[in-house]
């Protein structure tokens, strides 16, 4: 994220500040890179204000979940990079996401994929390496 230098000092004091800054300046962006920001959760205000977002990069954070509202709220999302986080599951609400084309999940703690992933009409690529996936079996994935 392109945060001005004078803002970076405040950013260190509060992770919430980063989200507030983002919301003030980037609500119509179609692409946003929030990789390596130490993010542990995605606030509801982000989901409700970023309707136009198509590409979201959240690689290398500490996310433990995406939440049930994640996919329904970001209807235009085409590319999602959540590699190298602490995700254990992908919400079943992914089922109604018709725009998603690329889903990068490598390096998480995911043991089972929701069956709904198989019904995504636009999905062209999925990256699952370095996850302890038990279901569906690796030979099917």
Q: Are 89 and 117 contacting, i.e. CB atoms less than 8 angstroms apart?
A: no
What pTM was estimated for this model as a whole?
A: 0.81
Local confidence band at 13 (pLDDT 50, 70, 90 cut-offs)? very low
Q: What is the pLDDT of residues 43-72, one digit of tens each?
A: 888 888 888 899 999 999 999 999 999 999
Closest alpha carbon to 63 in 30, 34, 85: 85
Average confidence (pLDDT) over 66-95: 96
Query: What is the CATH topology of the domain spanning 5-127?
Result: 3.80.10
Q: What is the pLDDT of residues 119-135, one digit of tens each?
A: 999 999 999 999 999 98
User: Residue 33 above 60 pLDDT?
Assistant: yes
Average confidence (pLDDT) over 35-41: 92
């Amino acid at each position: 994220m392109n945060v001005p230098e004078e803002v970076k000092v405040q950013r260190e004091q509060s992770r919430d500040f980063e989200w507030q800054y983002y919301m003030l300046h980037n609500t119509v962006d179609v692409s946003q890179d929030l990789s390596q920001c130490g993010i542990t959760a995605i606030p509801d205000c982000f989901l409700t204000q970023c309707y136009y977002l198509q590409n979201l990069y959240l690689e290398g954070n500490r996310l433990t979940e995406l939440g049930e509202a994640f996919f329904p709220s970001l209807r235009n999302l085409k590319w999602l990079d959540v590699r190298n986080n602490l995700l254990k599951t992908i919400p079943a609400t992914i089922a109604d996401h018709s725009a998603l084309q690329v889903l990068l999940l490598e390096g998480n703690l995911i043991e089972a994929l929701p069956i709904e992933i198989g019904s995504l009409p636009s999905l062209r690529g999925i990256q699952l390496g370095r996850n302890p996936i038990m279901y569906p079996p690796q030979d099917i994935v």
